[in-house]
Amino acid sequence: MEQATIDFLAAQAHADRVRLSGDLDEALRALDTEMTELAEVLQVEHVGPGVGMQDMGAEHVFRLAVRHHVWDVSEAAWGLKVCDGLPNGSLRAMWPIYGVARLRKQQLVQALPQFFSGYADAVREAGKDETPAGRRVLSLAAAFA
C-alpha cells in the first residue's frame, strides 16, 4: 500500500467527520489487501475496538478483529474483518472493512488508530515485532497515531 494511501486514511481517521467517497473505498480496499497479507504471515490474533452504532449505545456489537476467518466452506484466511462481537457471535466475520455501510464506515475509519495501536501491542507480545511484517504493523500504528 502506498504511503499516500496511508496518509489519506490517517488524516480521515483524525478528522472530525470522515468524508465518504470512492477514494475512501479504494483506500480501505488497499488496507484490506495489505492486512490480509500481514495477518497471514504474522498469525497474531487481535480483537480491536467496537464499530457498532455509537448513537444507539451498541458499539460493542461489532468489532474489528484480526484472526483466521472462515467465510464459508470454500473460503478461510487470516485478515482484518468486522466481526460479530456479541458473546454468542464467536467473532464471526460479517464484512470486509471496505464493505460496511456508510454510518459504520465513519466509525470504522475513526477506530483505526486504536485498532493499530492494539494490534502493534499484540504483535510485540507475540515476539514478532522484529520480522518484516511486524515492522510494517508498527509503522502503520505510528502512521495512525
The Cα–Cα gap between 96 and 30 comes to: 12
Span 34-43, average pLDDT: 97
Amino acid identity of 4? A
Number of H helices, E strands in the chain: 4, 4
DSSP three-state, residue 70 = strand
Range of the domain at 37: 3-144
The Cα–Cα gap between 83 and 61 comes to: 9
Average pLDDT of the chain to the nearest whole number:
92
Q: What is the DSSP string of 29-68?
A: HHHHHHHHHHHHHH---EEEEE-S-GGGT-TTSEEEEEEE
Q: Which residues contact 110 (CB under 8 A, 6 or more apart)?
A: 13, 18
Domain count, the chain: 1
Instruction: Answer yes or no: are the C-beta atoms of 66 and 128 closer than 8 Å.
Output: no
Q: What is the pLDDT of residue 54?
A: 59
Q: What is the pLDDT of residue 55?
A: 53
Summarised one tens digit per residue, pLDDT across range 45-57 is 999 999 876 555 5
Summarised one tens digit per residue, pLDDT across range 2-38 is 999 999 999 999 999 999 999 999 999 999 999 999 9
Residue 19: count other Cβ atoms within 10 Å of its Cβ: 12
| Grid coordinates of 59 | 458499539
| Grid coordinates of 55 | 448513537
